[in-house]
Structure 1
Amino acid sequence: MDKKLIGVDLGGTTIKFAITTENGEIQQRWSIETNILDEGSHIVPDIIESINHHLEMYEMKPEQFIGIGMGTPGTVDLEKGTVVGAYNLNWKTVQNVKEEIEKGTNIKFAVDNDANVAALGERWKGAGENADDVVFITLGTGVGGGIITNGKLVHGMGAGGEVGHMNVHPGGYLCTCGNRGCLEAYASATGVVRVARDMAEEYAGNSKLKQLTDDGEEVTSKLVFDLAKENDPLAKMVVDRVCNYLGLACANFGSILNPSAIVIGGGVSAAGQFLLDQVKNYFNEYAFPTVKSSTEIKLAQLGNEAGVIGAASLALKFKD
């Protein structure tokens, strides 16, 4: 009988689970709320309880599974299976996640950073088309992602693949990491709004975006892109600036890695082809000639399922 995989996508508000085939096809999925009280001490027991409960419900046994894979915020020790510094989970001290979950479920367990895991999912079953060389950029509250070369995730000395902290504007906006000019400071959802507010202050023409900003109305990255699609002149300038930085970052990744695809996902990517076309224009302006013709800029396909599918793929290393 074919064995299954379990993928766990651990987030600050929700923990998503999926049972998949060896080929990454989701067969069952569910989610629970993340209980971060008491320094996050309930999280791992809740994961164990939820997995055991669902296996009992589906009349499945631990020996039917190759393993469990999990994506988590924070700094991960891949060998020890520990996590530290996941502040949105209230995990301030080292968490022995692997040891506890293996003991609680009797199933082998692997863990990696959540952005890396989403990259694995998009590479395996999404826009990456299971290619050996893929870069994934996710544009959300921050900018995260992962780099896969020769079929393996790049970890470096622990901070490899921090795509959001590529510097695209030396001396520019202050980033949450403490540096200035990071991609995250411009192309995240909060970054887009920041660019919009700054450009609105200097803009003298007629613009709905300027009017909303001047009136103190709430401005979101979605609103900026929607107005740009409607030809609002200021919104178009904001989007152009953001896409310039994104295109520059993609060109730099292309020149260093020459992947088959650079995949853009996350909430901001919901702007779709409108965003993609402008990023491609700047990519083509900045990229090394060979890279322009061999690296494709694409939109992510898996949405919220990238995390659980990528997490499940971590467990394939336990396959006989």
Structure 2
Amino acid sequence: MKYIAGVDIGGTNTKIGIVSSEGRIVAKESIKTLSMEGVESTLKRIWASIKGLLEKNEINYEDLLGVGMGIPGPVREQEIVGFFANFPWEKNLNIAKLFRNISGKETKLENDVNVIALGEARHGAGKGAKTSITIALGTGIGGGIYIDGKILSGFNGAGGEVGHMKLVKDGKLCGCGQKGCFEAYASATGIEREAISRLKVNKTNKLYQKLNGEIDKVEAKDVFDCAKEGDAFSLDIVDYEAEYLAMGIGNVLNLINPEKIILAGGVSLAGDILLDRVKEKLPKYAMSVALENGFSIELGILGNDSGIYGASALIG
């Protein structure tokens, strides 16, 4: 049996797994990234964790085919990170080469959301589809485009950044510094921003009661929880979210025409109360042909393991 290490490097934690050639995670653990200690320190601790997992599971070093990594930032040629979204590391750093020097193993990289998309495409909700797009709905919106067995990274590694499509001319300010982005409306941050705005003028609702009037503490989950309890105020915000989500997804469908759209990330945990509304509104924004012949929009099924699965799929 041969194995691959899948590494999902995050701003705070790094998830590490050993995946068998049969596509099964046989061991995994999470360690602190501690990027402030420097790139070499972080990579050495990741390799120490991988070696520890191999030893605990009596896997020979020779049976490890390589290491795949997902990392927050644009990646070129599966080696070089243009810049790091949350790390104080230098630009245009060849992480793959650094890690090969440490481990002696073949190493390939991709953007973190791209590896989530690859994981869902190969092992999760997109399995069996030739084309799928995974949209990660969290604090922001990330995307990964999977076409004919490959992730579309783009010329400078910025392919799949669907969160920064413009939905509204000179609209709400986005974290990227531009205005009117998909992310500014349909992310968890966008939902919370809209909820606060509405709560300032309407305090007779279940959401306001749940927050004990501390409206600045609202989270997207609070909105969805109250909506599921039948709160009309919160349901209205969910409808707002679904409208912009359908608009953004519709634009993606018209451009790529995938077999599947997969929704991942924290906002997707809202489930059917959001998904049903998105499906209902989608025909307003997507060409009818893009919704035919078995097209489906689904929720991701791999959860926190998606990055491990996707990173391992970079090898071989």
For Structure 1 versus Structure 2, the TM-score category normalised by the shorter chain is over 0.9
Q: Is the 8 A contact 2:134 2:144 kept in 1?
A: yes
- Cα distance in 2, alignment partners of residues 230 and 53 from structure 1: 46
Letter in 2 for 1:135: I
Per-residue CA deviations over 1:27-65 (Å, capped at 9, x if unaligned) read: 111121111223444211111222223323333333212
CA distance in 2, matches of 1:276, 1:208: 22
Who is 1:177 aligned against? Answer: 176
Given that 2:76 and 2:153 are in contact with CA atoms closer than 8 Å, whether structure 1 keeps it comes out as: no
Q: CA deviation at 1:292?
A: 1.9
Give 1:273 shift: 1.2
Residue equivalent to 2:229: 230
Query: Matched residues in 1 for 2:188 and 2:25: separation?
Result: 29
Shifted more, 213-222 versus 253-262: the winner is 213-222
1:99 counterpart = 2:97: yes
Root-mean-square deviation (CA, aligned residues, Å) is: 1.9
Residue 314 of structure 2: aligned partner: 314
Which residue, 134, 137, 156 being the options, matches 1:136?
A: 134
Gaps of 5+ in 1: none
Within-5 A mapping of 1:119-268: 119-158=117-156, 159-203=158-202, 206-210=204-208, 215-217=213-215, 218-268=217-267
Contact 2:144 2:161 in 1 (8 A): yes
The residue aligned with 2:285 is 286
The offset of 1:268, in angstroms, is: 0.8
Larger CA deviation: 303-312 vs 174-183: 174-183
* Displacement of 1:111: 0.4
- CA distance in 2 between counterparts of 1:191 and 1:23 reads 40
Is the 8 Å Cα contact of residues 135 and 262 (structure 2) preserved in structure 1?
A: yes
Q: Name the TM-score, length of structure 2 as normaliser.
A: 0.93
1:92 CA drift (Å): 3.5
In structure 1, what is the Cα distance between the partners aligned to 2:85 and 2:292?
Answer: 41
**What per-residue deviation string (whole Å, max 9, x for no partner) do you get for residues 271-291 of structure 1?**
111111011111123221122
Separation in 2, partners of 1:84, 1:154: 16
Distance 1:23 1:172, change over 3 A: farther
Counterparts of 1:262-277 in structure 2, within 5 Å, are 262-277=261-276
SS at match of 2:68: strand
Q: Separation in 1 of the partners of 2:284 and 2:276?
A: 13
8 Å Cα contact 1:264-1:299 kept in structure 2: yes
TM-score by length of 1: 0.92
Matched, 1:109 2:107: yes
Alpha carbons 2:8, 2:307 under 8 Å: kept? yes
Cα deviation digits, residues 124-172 of structure 1 (max 9, x gap): 1111023110000011111112011222211222211001112222222
Task: Name structure 2 gaps, 5 residues minimum.
Answer: none
Equivalent residue, structure 1, for 2:6: 7
Identity of aligned residues (%): 39
Following TM superposition, by how much is the alpha carbon of 1:182 offset from its aligned partner in structure 2, in angstroms? 1.0
Matched, 1:19 2:34: no
What letter corresponds to residue 147 of structure 1 in structure 2?
I
Q: Secondary structure at the match of 2:166?
A: coil
Confirm or deny: 8 A CA contact 1:200 1:213 kept in the other structure.
Answer: no
Give the secondary-structure state (helix, strand or coil) at the position aligned to 1:88: coil
| Worse-matched range after superposition: 83-92 or 189-198 | 83-92
CA contact (8 A) 2:226 2:234 kept: yes
SS at match of 1:89: coil
Instruction: Report matched runs for 1:9-48 at 5 Å.
Output: 9-48=8-47
> Match of 1:275, SS?
helix
Q: Which whole-Å CA distance do the structure 2 matches of 1:89 and 1:15 have between them?
A: 13
CA displacement at 1:192 relative to structure 2: 0.7
The residue matched to 2:130 in structure 1 has which SS?
A: coil
State the Cα deviation string for residues 81-140 of structure 1 (Å, max 9, x = none). 122421422223443321222122221110000000000001111110231100000111
Give the deviation of 1:246 after TM superposition: 0.5
Structure 1 residue 211: Cα displacement: 5.4
Give the match's secondary structure for 2:290. helix
Q: State the distance in 2 between where 1:57 and 1:100 align.
A: 25
**What's the CA shift string for 1:195-254, capped at 9, x where partnerless?**
111233354x73223456792342110000111122212211111111101111111111
The CA distance in 1 between the partners of 2:212 and 2:34, in whole Å, is 39
SS at the partner of 2:108? strand
